[in-house]
Structure 1
Amino acid sequence: MFEGLLQGVWALVLAGPVLAASVAATVFVVRRRVLAPAGRPEGSDQVFWDLFLGACVAVPAFLIPTLVSPWTGLFLGAAGAAAGIAAYLGTPRYLARRAARQDLREQQAAHLAAAAAHDELMARWRRYELDPACSIDYPTLTDVRLPETSALIKAMRTADQLRTASHRGYPDAVSRLADSLTAAERAAGIPVEQA
């Protein structure tokens, strides 16, 4: 009896983690495929193969120790069921956190690119404001009575406010600033190659 108990414990220690990991991984992969966004269709054929491969690991990890010691099968079945339930319930939260991290990384990259473009646009604008030759040649770029220049100043203010707040709409505000600056330069009669 002691020998059977010892074999059961060894079977439980060796096969338990394998069974729990294979069940959890299979449930996670299948659940991820089922919850895939609409733009990424996952075929039922792929789900079948995920289940098949998971079963190729889980079934032997369950059956072999159960044949060695029947009471081990009870514990292994409970461990496999617990791992499957935990993976089933945890997958949506994990995927949501991963998507949020990805969204944050994309937002930060877009913010950095917009900040670089914003700096270039402001350097371009300062040339007309601070360079005496440009101010004399194109005085309309500093005249806020003109609608194009007024729109440019408003776009500058909006982009500056959204930059300091790290707002999601900052890249769009920088695009509007670029369009406004181009429109103001066009209205001032600045040749395209000079702008």
Structure 2
Amino acid sequence: MKLFNLILLISAINLGACAQQDNTTDRALTTATAGNEPLPDAVVNELNEQALGDTVVKTEEEWRQQLTPEEYQVLREEGTELAFRNEFNDNKRRGVYSCAACGNPMFTSETKFESGTGWPSFYAPISEKRVKEVDDRALGMLRTEVECSRCGSHIGHVFPDGPKPTGLRYCLNSIALDFEEK
């Protein structure tokens, strides 16, 4: 029982940390202004117009066979990876971030910014049709969960404290994403 309580406490701290952002300084620096050139307009336009593809429907057993245990815990069981100890938080390369479960392109380096939370953050998806936002009432909080619109996998959460032009912060799990450099 003590181990369960410890795990629950650590999970609550991790989840709460994603919801917190230091707004005392303007740390919202996009990848493009951090030293990399933006993606070519043709790449972004192609992603915006690209068909979403068929909805992916699998049994939980099929997902378990496809994903690593860590990926399954985040993508299918709505877990959260550790802050600052993930692959894409500090990624400054330009490219496209896709759902690790089904390959749906969801975000680009164009909208990635440094939020200071320890998770990769974006102020907008490639297209509204690429993500699904649902109410998350876990742990006694009301948050907005971000899911892949193609396969329903948990990607992260979105908060209303991001930079212009949207004012949103999509706080995502690196393990829920694949990255393709462009």
What TM-score do you get using the length of structure 1 for normalisation?
0.23
Give the TM-score, by structure 2 length. Answer: 0.24
Which has more strand, going by share of residues? 2
